[in-house]
Structure 1
Amino acid sequence: MTSRRGFLKAGGIALFGVGLGGVPSFVAQAAQMIQAPALFKKRKTLVCIFQRGAMDGLMAVNPFTDQYLKAARPTLFMSAAKNATNKPLIDLDGRFGLHPSMAAFESVFKDGSLAIVHGIGSPNSTRSHFDAQDYMESGTPFNKGTASGWLNRAVGLLGHEAATPFQAVSMTSSLPRSFYGDQPSVAISNLQDFAIQLKGNPNGANMASKSFEDLYDQTSSGLLKETGKESFDAVKMLDKIDTKNYKAANNAIYPNTALGNALKQIAQLIKMDVGLEVAFAESGGWDTHFNQGTTNGIFARNVNDLSECIMAFWTDMGTLQDDVTVMTMTEFGRTVKQNGTGGTDHGRASCNFILGNDVNGGKVHGLVKPLAIENLEDGRDLAVTTDFRSVFSEVADKHLKINNDKLLFPDWTGKHIGMMKG
């Protein structure tokens, strides 16, 4: 007999749009056999957004008083002066300025619910996108053989088994490295029409060719008995929701972009109360080697989308904001000096954003020394002064009440930096 836990562990279930027009009939029929479900206990939700491609933290949150940066970026440097030729940076504290295309963040920074950590990165100096993302998502920056992702381990440290397959959800077409591991997790690219199939991982590779229905037929009695009351209830709830015509609360308007659509669907899952505790989304296009731009261009468009999408989600959360924290991450930053094609190359440290009512916000945390060459890593990059694990663990500990850093980040022995309350 396949147990609920064993069945869900078999690969992380992937729910994705395939044009089938709704829940597969055999799942719907199984769900109909169950009595009305009890509401899942309200829990905290952590929403992680991976900015793939390496965001230029020095342009997103600019140390605009640094004359070394001005000299290193003759056409990319931005000013906070009101009489600047271009739209000025948003002065945060007299030293750091927020990119003007991130104006949506200004109000939450000022009210203390948005914190920024600068100089954050990995202790591993690789400048390979693939390797750096892998290390950050596994949470073990010097061990490529780690089978699990840090978010999957976080789910395992929540202190309870999943009462629903929607405990850990990635709004992506495939399961991200962060969710690899023994704990049940799902990847959903579209709530509007979906099917369920087995998503291969090391635990389920030998069954990758079999459909969910095949597995269901083989284990129907045991699966219905052990999984039905929990898993199928959530599927039934999802099938009832008119996701296509979802109306966001508080007049929130989500950008019609990949990230906007992902966060809108995460908001729906949170409001549906299906037991979501860890959510994941992605933002792409941050590898700005060419024509990066300042107030216009690819970088400005990207940071505008990031901030507008997050703020639409935050506005939509309304009275649920106390239960939600949003955290961004990116694999590394960009070079201090611009290159010959108006862009920046792979660097080291960047910055990230943490939004929530349990955040020690209104501050730029971390250490950024003057960008003189003697302070740069390898003579070219913003130095990593905050290990990403110190931030990730603090958010997980304070928001999700996980207090086992040795299991969450096995090789890390550092300290928190105080960007969360309590």
Structure 2
Amino acid sequence: MDRRQFLKVFGIVGTSAIATVGTHGWFAKGLAATQHPKRLVVIFLRGGIDGLNVVVPYTETDYYEARPTLAIPQPGKEKGALDLDGNFGLHPALSSLIPLWKDKTLAFVHACGSTDETRSHFDAQKYMESGTPGNKKTVEGWMNRMLGILPGKTPVEAVSVGSTIPLILAGHESASNISLQGNSARKLPIDQDKIQSAFDQLYASNDPLSLAYQEGRAARDTLLKQLEAEMEEANNGAPLPKGFAGETRQLASLMVRDPSIQLAFMDVGGWDTHANQGSSQGQLANRLKSLGEGLVTLVDRLGEIYADTTILVVSEFGRTVEENGNRGTDHGHGNVMWILNGSLRGGQVYGQWPGLSESERYEGRDLAITTDFRSVVSTVLLNQFQVKPNQINQIFPGYKPTETLSLFA
């Protein structure tokens, strides 16, 4: 019996010291360490972030026609996207990430995601965490299966957020969790107070027009409250980005001090932008700014071990190409996946871009998926964690990689 199995049989892994990292994540401290271990940090953006406004296809005329109020202006224009490669630009609220792009330790995979067609937050999150799109019967997560396959004889980590262990870490390998407190979503800035006040005063009487306005206003308030409630449900217990940098600072400091910490998971909510999403400024921009700052803090604090650390930023699906009547976007399909690694062949937008014309969209409305998210994860596991090709199917049952991305030298 090897040491890992010995520890598992006698329950030592399950009783390892647990340290909390604020409200975004936790890690179960391993009992032994190896020199220069590879690390994996997965950050899940719950709610379905709008990847088209994160990595902007600014050369696409269809993008601007579909989003008259939400599209990010082209590079060089006021509040425009930050040019990445002549075809794509980064949302200006993520300007803090540009040095990582220029250092070639940041890359994106566009038109990426889960191949299942669902637009349900809960199903899509389940499929991405289980690693088995379309199979609702899977009860363990791909990160948990990864724990049982990683080479070496020392226990490694787990990470969870919320009152229960997330599916991505559920399974036979030991894991723990910490309950969240005080993470209910803040009221969304979905209406301008000055404009509302002016109209309320203008139509404060009992004439038919005023009564019609008052009834319409009440109906709108009810609708927006319902949309806010849906966002809270879509967050699935994940806190909002505010304070994210503080959490990543703590986690990175712990990882630097303790080489046994190899796996970590964090999730962030607030990305279900059905109403008043905003363009270069607004609701989405504010949250992207906090997210970007948190990622930069994580990289900075990791220091030298960033060269051995892969950070994956994922979301369950993207948003519709066209904006809706509430100046937001609805549940879509394809999205963009973020990859950070000190040894990455970064400074590139990977993936086959399908285009945004109506005939090129998925079901005529969404960005199509040309890269399975499991292909990206598999590339990381094969290149960074010494996982063998025949073991990928154990981590992602029923999946066989059809392509290998050249993410690493």
Q: CA deviation at 1:7?
A: 5.6
Q: CA deviation at 1:100?
A: 0.2
2:396 aligns with 409
- Out of 303, 310, 329, the residue aligned to residue 325 of structure 1 is 310
1:133 aligns with 125
- In the alignment, is residue 186 of structure 1 matched against residue 173 of structure 2? no
Identity %: 39
1:241 aligns with none
2:68 aligns with 74
- TM normalised by structure 2 equals 0.76
- Helix, strand or coil for the counterpart of 1:117? strand
- The Cα RMSD (Å) is 2.7
1:234 aligns with none
Measure, in 1, the Cα distance between the counterparts of 2:372 and 2:379. Answer: 12
- In the alignment, is residue 288 of structure 1 matched against residue 291 of structure 2? no
- Out of 159, 165, 175, the residue aligned to residue 175 of structure 1 is 165
2:92 aligns with 100
Q: Deviations over 1:185-220 (max 9, x none)?
A: 233579xxxxxxxxxxxxxxxxxxxxxxxxxxxxxx
- In the alignment, is residue 4 of structure 1 matched against residue 17 of structure 2? no
Measure, in 2, the Cα distance between the counterparts of 1:387 and 1:9. Answer: 37
2:364 aligns with 379
User: What code does the residue aligned with 1:263 have?
Assistant: T
Call closer, same or farther: CA 1:366–1:272 in 2, change over 3 Å.
same
Q: CA deviation at 1:10?
A: 9.5
Q: CA deviation at 1:160?
A: 3.3
Q: CA deviation at 1:104?
A: 1.1
User: What code does the residue aligned with 1:273 have?
Assistant: D
- In the alignment, is residue 337 of structure 1 matched against residue 337 of structure 2? no
Measure, in 2, the Cα distance between the counterparts of 1:189 and 1:324. Answer: 27
Q: CA deviation at 1:81?
A: 3.8
Call closer, same or farther: CA 1:363–1:379 in 2, change over 3 Å.
same
Measure, in 2, the Cα distance between the counterparts of 1:162 and 1:408. Answer: 19
Asked if 2 retains the 8 angstrom alpha-carbon contact of 1:172 and 1:282, the reply is: no
Measure, in 2, the Cα distance between the counterparts of 1:323 and 1:10. Answer: 24
Q: Deviations over 1:135-164 (max 9, x none)?
A: 00000002111121001111111123444x
Asked if 2 retains the 8 angstrom alpha-carbon contact of 1:335 and 1:347, the reply is: yes
Measure, in 2, the Cα distance between the counterparts of 1:256 and 1:409. Answer: 29
Q: CA deviation at 1:419?
A: 4.2
User: What code does the residue aligned with 1:119 have?
Assistant: A
User: What code does the residue aligned with 1:415 have?
Assistant: T
- Helix, strand or coil for the counterpart of 2:110? strand
- TM normalised by structure 1 equals 0.74
- Helix, strand or coil for the counterpart of 2:86? coil
- In the alignment, is residue 114 of structure 1 matched against residue 106 of structure 2? yes
- In the alignment, is residue 316 of structure 1 matched against residue 301 of structure 2? yes
- Out of 44, 50, 53, the residue aligned to residue 50 of structure 1 is 44
Measure, in 2, the Cα distance between the counterparts of 1:302 and 1:417. Answer: 32
- In the alignment, is residue 266 of structure 1 matched against residue 256 of structure 2? no
Measure, in 1, the Cα distance between the counterparts of 2:17 and 2:307. Answer: 29
User: What code does the residue aligned with 1:316 have?
Assistant: R
Instruction: Show structure 1 runs of 5+ residues with no match.
Output: 20-36, 191-254
Instruction: Show structure 2 runs of 5+ residues with no match.
Output: 23-30, 181-239
Q: CA deviation at 1:130?
A: 0.3
Call closer, same or farther: CA 1:121–1:9 in 2, change over 3 Å.
farther
Q: CA deviation at 1:357?
A: 2.0
Aligned length: 336
User: What code does the residue aligned with 1:344 have?
Assistant: T
